[in-house]
Amino acid sequence: MGRTYNIAVVPGDGTGPEVVTEGLKALDSASNKFGFKLDLHRLDIGGDRYLKTGEVLPKGAVDELRQYDAIYLGAIGHPDVKPGILEKGILLKLRFELDQYINLRPVKLYPGVECPLKDKQPEDIDFVVIRENTEGLYAGAGGFLKKETPDEVAIQESINTRKGVDRCLHYAFDYTKKRNRKKNLTLCGKTNVLTFAFDLWERAFREMSLKYPEIKADYAHVDAITMWFVKNPEWFDVIVTDNMFGDIITDLGAMIQGGMGIAAGGNINPEGVSMFEPIGGSAPKYKGQNLINPLAAICAAGMMLDHLGEETAGRKIEQAVMDVTKNRIKSLAAGAMGCSTTEVGDMVAELVAK
Ligand code: IPM
Ligand code: MN
């Protein structure tokens, strides 16, 4: 028997529990095949709990979560809770408190998946966005003056610390090297307008690039990047950017890889506990109907194994997902897959076991 990993499972809201169930099937299958053990601990965190108890994040939850080897998250977001409360109080709070300073978002077009870009094939869309995940506009710096008067002022500041930028860039350069594909790292910024924040980013980037002579380090403005994602996605290998730009361009990335049904991400603290999630949200209108696509959650499970050091098992899950997109489902869209949520999960689990 190999290693045992302690995993916190947070199914969360809406269709979160359904997709997590399918992800756990894939994990179970992988652990049997590859000889490691997963010790799963379910935590009741999310909108339902908040509505029942008035508590967004249960007391002690952060410290409890710190004890695990990884966190597997379904979705946070509830139609009866005002937007922002759960997102800020749970998802962002965990990212910040657990210092998950990297948001890792692979953008990969799997075979058989319909791409909205004309004439683009799987070989054209295969890059990774590394988003700084604890600073920038998300840091919450700013405030109001004269709130709710005609003279109201709202200020929201982007926080960019040299240490925060350097640790993110360091991860990005190392990741590009390890990925060993085009060995190209692109800094995505806005140096022509945000002349303080991205001046720091660009200087730090140039300086660090000297330590990685094997990596081709280049720069692109964020607005241009959105054009090129659509026109020439094949240009990209790894992209590193700040929190806000990363948030925006990764949704565009999800769309060119076929949509939210397949997009997964990791919130990573390389020195601590990391959290893996499908990025599509809780999709409450599909709750309980066995129609939602679980592949994004399954991909997140694969990323988690890869992060834990079970790379072969992680790759096997990804290959099983690719088999399913190529040969077994009609579409990624909820209700249009040609089979149910549980059937997709069963197929993946079976393919992983083979
Ligand atoms: C994401 C999400 C979150 C973010 C929201 C839900 C707070 O959009 O993970 O990209 O903005 O980071
Ligand atoms: Mn987002």
Q: Give the contacts of 131 (CB within 8 A, at least 6 positions apart).
A: 102, 103, 104, 105, 240, 241, 242, 243, 245, 246, 247, 250
Domain end (from 256, 291, 325): 256
Is 312 within a domain?
yes
Write out pLDDT tens, residues 111-143: 999 999 999 999 999 999 999 999 999 999 999
Write out pLDDT tens, residues 139-184: 999 999 999 999 999 999 999 999 999 999 999 999 999 999 999 9
Asked if 87 and 69 sit in the same domain, the reply is yes
Tokens representing residue 17 in the block: 């529990």
The answer for 258, left when phi > 0, alpha when psi is -120 to 50, beta otherwise, is left
> Which ligand places an atom closest to the C-alpha of 87?
1
Q: Give the contacts of 245 (CB within 8 A, at least 6 positions apart).
A: 131, 188, 189, 190, 222
Is 108 within a domain?
no
**Cβ–Cβ < 8 Å for 131, 105:** yes
Is 106 within a domain?
no
State the distance from the centre of ligand 2 to the C-alpha of 246, rounded, in angstroms: 8
**Cβ–Cβ < 8 Å for 323, 4:** no
Is 176 within a domain?
yes
**Does the beta carbon of 85 lie inside 6 Å of ligand 1?**
no
Q: Is the pLDDT of residue 1 over 70?
A: no
Q: Is the pLDDT of residue 337 over 70?
A: yes
Q: What is the DSSP string of 260-286?
A: TTT-EEEEE-TTS-EEEEETT---GGG
Provide the domain count of the chain. 2
Asked if 23 and 69 sit in the same domain, the reply is yes
State the distance from the centre of ligand 1 to the C-alpha of 104, rounded, in angstroms: 13
Asked if 228 and 311 sit in the same domain, the reply is no
Asked if 271 and 340 sit in the same domain, the reply is yes
Domain end (from 231, 256, 281): 256
Nearest ligand 1 atom, CA 246: 10
Asked if 251 and 290 sit in the same domain, the reply is no
| Site of tokens 């979705």 | 75
| Site of tokens 């920038």 | 136
Is 111 within a domain?
no
Name the band, by pLDDT with cuts 50, 70 and 90, for residue 2: confident
**Cβ–Cβ < 8 Å for 2, 269:** no
Is 79 within a domain?
yes
Asked if 120 and 50 sit in the same domain, the reply is no
CA 10 to chain centre: 15
Write out pLDDT tens, residues 247-268: 999 999 999 999 999 999 999 9
- H helices of 126-186, in order, are 162-179
CA 242 to chain centre: 14
DSSP state of 123: G
Provide the residue range defining the domain that includes 151. Answer: 116-256
Q: Mean pLDDT over all residues of the chain?
A: 97
- Rounded average pLDDT over 223-242: 98
Q: What are the φ and ψ backbone dihedral angles of 194, each rounded to 5 degrees?
A: -85, 75
Is 210 within a domain?
yes
**Does the beta carbon of 343 lie inside 6 Å of ligand 1?**
no
Asked if 216 and 334 sit in the same domain, the reply is no
Domain end (from 216, 231, 256): 256
Is 110 within a domain?
no
Asked if 122 and 249 sit in the same domain, the reply is yes
Asked if 305 and 227 sit in the same domain, the reply is no
Q: Is the pLDDT of residue 9 over 80?
A: yes
| Site of tokens 């002579």 | 213
CATH number of the domain that residue 94 is part of: 3.40.718.10
State the distance from the centre of ligand 1 to the C-alpha of 103, rounded, in angstroms: 10
**Cα dist from 94 to 86, 165, 197, 219, 276, whole Å:** 11, 20, 25, 31, 12
Asked if 193 and 301 sit in the same domain, the reply is no
Tell the residue nearest (CA) to atom 7 of ligand 1: 87
Asked if 122 and 248 sit in the same domain, the reply is yes
156 residue type, one letter? Q
Asked if 131 and 215 sit in the same domain, the reply is yes
**Dist. CA 61–CA 236, nearest whole Å:** 38
User: Is the pTM here over 0.95, yes or no?
Assistant: yes
Nearest to 31 by CA among 7, 9, 50: 7
| Kind of pairing between the strands at 136-145 and 153-159 | antiparallel
**Dist. CA 98–CA 204, nearest whole Å:** 24
Write out pLDDT tens, residues 270-310: 999 999 999 999 999 999 999 999 999 999 999 999 999 99
Q: Which residues pair with 39 in a beta bridge?
A: 6
